[in-house]
Structure 1
Amino acid sequence: MSSDRTFTARLNARAISVAYRTETGVRDWFSRRARRNGWTPAVLPYSGYSSRGTARVLARVVLAPPSFDLNARQGMRGWRHLLSLECPHTEVEITLGDTTVVATSDESGIVDQLIAMESPLGPGTTRAQLVLPGRDTVPASVHAISSDPVRGVVCDIDDTAWVTGLAHPFRAAWRTLRGTSGTRQSVPGMPELLRTALGADPDPGLIYLSNGPWNFVGAVTHFLELQEFPAGALLMTDWGVTPTRWFRDGKHHKASSIERLMEDLPHVTWVLVGDDGEHDPEIYLAAAREHPGRVAAIVLRRAGLKRVGEDEESVEGVPVIRGDDGDELLPRLRTVLPDGGATTG
């Protein structure tokens, strides 16, 4: 029995390796053809965060034609966002404040650069300037979080900010691939809930955390702006075969992202907002157990799939509240926050 499992594991590992090399080879073939047709590397800017003299700048390098229009991507249907040619191992010059560094994109074209600032950023949202040869300078948002102890929020996207319907996989896939940022439905009451969770602290931290692919970051950002969600950094992941797995591990992505936020921002106490449709309950409950004093509340929208920790009203003294949407969750959240969720208005 053990030998059978070992053989199956080796066979699966070999199949994954072949699939990964095939996918990479196909991408490289299309990339060579695109370059012969005049396509060159271009930068897609993402939203990062900064505090206490360090900044995390995020972007992606893709191959694009000379007429590439970043703004035109926002209104595209979902499936078209998946049609991109990632550009790995490409150097990007990043200037933020008085600091300039050179970053290199990874195998998926992602630039994820932690910068030690010569001078800390001022409060609010600022812009890093990203430069590639032959292209216009591209600004990437960096949200500066207060250096004082402050409350922050981690918020899921699917079935928390917008309606995906993961309880019905085919319907969810249709919404994702067919819809646009303008046709997506917002979960009622969520923008106000997030503003309340952030409270009256000056320059709080807001991080949108999703298992969706980076390809959809423009559509997500546009949706959040249209629906008047508060501005924040956005952390997504990459779909597709890896050298060791058929699919990216969404649970690991979220858990490791929260762990890094705990390390990067040790002075922030978090409100964790998600839903019961994927792994949010177990990830958030684990974070509260592993980081005593760092989680102020766990807020879970009922999306209809799982009931992990359904009977728990608190974990390690952290209140766990549940409801069908932001309108139902908001008054419950106000009762458990130390300041009642007072906002600056």
Structure 2
Amino acid sequence: MSHPHRAARLERRVHDLVGQQLGSRGWTPRVVAHTGYGASRAAGPSAGPSTGPNAGGWVRVLARVILAPPGTPSAARTDGRGWRRFVSTAAAGVPLTIDLGGETHTVSSGADGYVDVRLDAALPPGWASASLTVGAAAPVSAPLRIVGPDTSLGLLSDLDDTVIVTMLPRPLLAFRNAFLVREDERRAVPGMAELYDEVLAGSVDAFVVYLSTGAWNTARPMTAFLDRHGYPAGPLLMTDWGPTSDGWFRSGQDHKRTTLRRLFEELPQLRWLLVGDDGQHDPTLYAEAVTAFPDRVVGVAIRELTLSEQLAQVTSPAPGPDVDDPSTRITVRAPDGHALAQALRDRGILPGA
């Protein structure tokens, strides 16, 4: 087996050293729970047998274990300046107890403190929760969105410049937005929350999920932002900005591409409405998804950046699909959620139209 990249080895040594120092000062592990998801029965080729006590049901539990000073409450804060979210110390190899529907599982946090585990579970469709515990700390609740066998629609949305004004590729502005600005000071993209409400009005049990190249450190405050601006609740599937076993930085495109494929394979009963923007790679990635899963995408909605956002991007907006691309017939483009909703209605894509 090849050795991890030197960046990953360096990060691990720094975490170990800092962890030892903080542990000697009384810092202890705490768990930060993220919203997970699952299915109430077997879904996908890797779901296992559909017999037994859980009848093939499963959940994906998402969390992170970090070190916290004495007196820190079990629940993490969701407000505050962004930079404080990026100085947490990961706690690797910490046992985490997961109480799920009366059954107990024990797993260990990964190299960067992350927990991403799929477990068998017999939970009904809708919202549920898992109880997560590390050491002697109080249990923390992790929300779970369980997709039922009769659910037929999935709504997948990007975050940056799709639902929240970010202008991410401009380095200085991205730094300001990510590290300095409170989430309640950031602006929502006009009309997007109303668009998603209209989608859900036509399919009330639709599974909503947000896919982003943003860091997991921002997931909790981003969830608060979505709730405050009226966006429907759903899991946020984000990434780690740290080094990998192959290099200094993770690939945002690979994260989105891999996650899209996983969702399509895990939840084969769903057809998807994919929503993104033309500032980065969403049009290309969504076109690839349509090509790979031609019967699984009901529509693609691309929010076009404003002129000021295009200038902030430095590079030109991502081009649309080619004429021969199968995604062309189901792709609409518009500058905001109101216009996208009308375009989806005109094309007969919006459920209930």
Q: Same fold (TM over 0.5)?
A: yes
TM-score under structure 2 length normalisation: 0.87
Contact (CA 8 Å) 1:87, 1:105: kept in 2 or not?
yes
Residue 71 and residue 188 in structure 1: after superposition, are their counterparts in 2 closer, same or farther (change >3 A)? farther
What secondary structure, in the 3-state scheme, does the structure 2 residue paired with 1:73 have? coil
Distance between the aligned counterparts of 1:126 and 1:327, measured in 2? 32
Aligned-residue CA RMSD in angstroms? 2.1
Q: Provide the residue aligned with 1:122 in structure 2.
A: 124
In the alignment, structure 1 residue 269 sits paired with structure 2 residue 257: no
Pairing 1:240–2:242 present: yes
1:113 is displaced (CA, Å) by 1.2
Equivalent position of 1:231 in the other structure:
233
Match for residue 30 of structure 2? 42
Residue aligning to 1:82:
86
Partners of 1:57 and 1:113 within 8 A in 2 = yes
Q: Which amino acid aligns with 1:116?
A: D
Q: 1:307 matched to which residue of 2?
A: 318
Amino acid at match of 1:20: A
- Name 1:24's counterpart in structure 2: 12
Q: Taking structure 1 as reference, are residues 72 and 103 closer, same or farther at Cα in structure 2, changes over 3 Å only?
A: closer
Q: Given the alignment of the two structures, is residue 328 of structure 1 paired with residue 339 of structure 2, yes or no?
A: yes
Distance in 2, Cα, partners of 1:45 & 1:59: 4
Q: Distance in 1 between matches of 2:132 and 2:348?
A: 39
Superposition map of 1:242-257 within 5 A: 242-257=244-259
For residues 175-227 of structure 1, the C-alpha deviation after alignment (integer angstroms, 9 at most, x for no partner) is 22111111111011111112223443342211101101111111111111111
Q: Check the 8 A contact 1:296/1:318 in 2, yes or no.
A: no
Query: In the aligned structure 2, how far is the partner of 1:206 from the partner of 1:134?
Result: 34
Structure 1 residue 149, shift from structure 2 partner? 4.4
Q: Which residue of the partner structure matches residue 178 of structure 1?
A: 180
**2-structure distance, mates of 1:313, 1:330:** 25
Is the CA contact (8 Å cut-off) linking 1:313 and 1:321 kept in structure 2?
no
Q: Hey, what's the Cα distance between the residues in 2 that align with 1:116 and 1:204?
A: 22
The amino acid across from 1:47 in the alignment is: T
- Secondary structure in 1 matching 2:5: helix
Q: Which amino acid aligns with 1:60?
A: R
**Is 2:76 aligned against 1:60?**
no
1:70, 1:160 → 2: CA distance?
32
- Cα distance 1:153–1:337, how it changes in 2: closer, same or farther (>3 A)? farther
C-alpha distance in 2 between matches for 1:310 and 1:174? 32
Query: How far did residue 259 of structure 1 move?
Result: 0.4
Q: Paired residue for 2:158?
A: 156
| Aligned pairs (5 A) from 1:133-144 | 133-144=135-146
317 and 99 in structure 1: CA distance in 2 versus 1, 3 angstrom threshold: farther
Residue in structure 1 matched with residue 49 of structure 2 by the alignment: none
Name the CA shift for 1:103/1:38 in 2 (closer, same or farther; >3 Å). Answer: same
**SS of residue paired to 1:266:** coil
Taking structure 1 as reference, are residues 316 and 216 closer, same or farther at Cα in structure 2, changes over 3 Å only? closer
Partners of 1:227 and 1:160 in 2: CA distance:
13
- Superposed displacement of residue 318, structure 1: 4.8
Segments of structure 1 that go 5 or more residues without pairing to the other structure are 1-12
Q: Which amino acid counterpart does residue 58 of structure 2 have in structure 1? A: T
**Code of the aligned partner of 1:87:** A
Task: Give the Å deviation of 1:270.
Answer: 0.5
Offset, 1:312 = 5.0
Q: Retained in 2: the 8 A contact 1:295–1:318?
A: no
1:94 pairs, out of 76, 98, 107, with: 98
Q: Are 2:349 and 1:342 aligned?
A: no
Q: Distance in 2 between matches of 1:266 and 1:54?
A: 14
Relative to 1, partners in 2 of residues 1:301 and 1:202: Cα closer, same or farther, differing over 3 Å? closer
Q: In structure 2, do the counterparts of structure 1 residues 96 and 313 end up closer, same or farther at CA, with 3 Å as the change threshold?
A: farther
The structural deviation recorded for 1:102 is: 1.5
Residue pair 2:208, 2:234 contacting (<8 A) in 1 also: yes
In the superposition, relative to structure 1, how do residues 34 and 320 fare at CA in structure 2: closer, same or farther (>3 Å)?
A: same
What is the CA–CA distance in structure 2 between the aligned matches of 1:321 and 1:166, rounded to whole Å? Answer: 23
| Runs of 4+, deviation exceeding 6 Å | none
> Corresponding residue for 1:298?
300
What corresponds to 2:214 in structure 1?
212
Deviation string 1:66-87 (CA, Å, 9 cap, x unpaired) is: 3223656211111111011111
Partner of 1:4: none
Cα contact 2:214–2:238 (8 A) shared by 1: yes
